[in-house]
Amino acid sequence: MHEWDFAATLADMDLLLLGLWNTIQVFVLALAFGVPLGLGLALGRMSRTPVLSQLCSFVIEFFRTTPPLVQLFWFFFALPILISVQMTPFVASVLTFSIQSSAFFAEIFRGGINSIDKGQWEAAKAIGMTRKASLRRIILPQAVKRMIPAFAERSIELLKTTTLISTVSYADLMFQANELASKTFRPLEVYTVVAVMYFFLILVFSQITILLEYRLAKSGEGTMR
């Protein structure tokens, strides 16, 4: 029977915390770029211009159907050759996950916007609002409220997917864990600790979104699912 010994792992906890910090950086940046990009893609897909709509649909479906790891490899290994730029693991990671998650966010936006009753568009139109103003003032505020559960779920997926960047040697939590495991020869303890860290990171994040949902539900109409 194996004797558990966390001493070596905990002694190098700062390595893991650094990894955690790097993970959070990529996660936050990918969200910051991915959400607006997702909104753009969603509006593009719903546009009445067929070319724009088809192009956005293609981008969305392409990034939803190809595995994130393949995308990451493509952006890290292939893109730099194609356009001859220097690609760091960090840039490749942020680029990949911004675009990848934007495709999923786009579908959430689209679903949210489509779920709003047609009468809301009509009422806004009838008081003279432009399409843009209706979207911004009337439709989106209601849609976003409904999107929060799906949005949270997708963000958690993103957070978990960031582990892939360890494969292009970006020093995220997963990568640091691999390093530490080979340094200490204690993979069981290291990977268990890392699993627990991810578990709590995600737990904290999902609790925050539940709180947010609750707060929003109190103002005006409740969140409808």
The residues of the shown chain that bind another protein, judged by CB under 8 A, are 2, 61-62, 64-71, 73-74, 77-78, 81-83, 117, 119-120, 122-131, 133, 137-138, 141-142, 145, 156, 159-164, 166-167, 174, 177-178, 181, 187-188, 191-192, 194-195, 198-199, 202-203, 206, 219-221
**Residues 22 and 172: beta-carbon distance below 8 Å:** yes
Give the nearer residue to another protein in terms of CB position, either 14 or 118: 118
Q: Give the CB-side neighbour count of residue 85, counting CA atoms within 13 A.
A: 9
User: How many whole angstroms separate alpha carbon 154 and alpha carbon 105?
Assistant: 8
Q: Which is nearer to another protein, 36 or 141 (CB)?
A: 141
End-to-end CA distance of the chain: 49
Write down the least CB distance from residue 90 to another protein, Å: 18
Least Å distance, CB 193 to another protein, is 11
The residue among 39 and 186 lying less far from another protein, judged by its C-beta, is 186
Provide, rounded to whole angstroms, the least separation between the CB of residue 19 and another protein: 12
Three-state secondary-structure class, residue 19: helix
Contact assessment for residue 172 and residue 180, using Cβ atoms and an 8 Å cutoff:
no
Residue 192 vs 209, nearer CB to another protein: 192
Rounded to a whole number of angstroms, the minimum distance from the CB of residue 220 to another protein is 5
Considering beta carbons, is residue 13 or 156 the nearer one to another protein? 156
- If the CB atoms of residues 98 and 134 are measured against another protein, the closer one turns out to be 134
In the complex, least distance from residue 36 CB atom to another protein, rounded to whole angstroms: 21
**DSSP per residue, 33-93:** HHHHHHHHHHHHHH-S-HHHHHHHHHHHHHHHHS-HHHHHHIIIIIHHHHHT----HHHHH
Q: How far is the CB of 202 from another protein (least distance, A)?
A: 4
CA–CA separation, 33 vs 201, rounded Å?
21
Structure tokens at 65: 């159907």
- Phi, psi of 48, deg, nearest 5: -85, -5
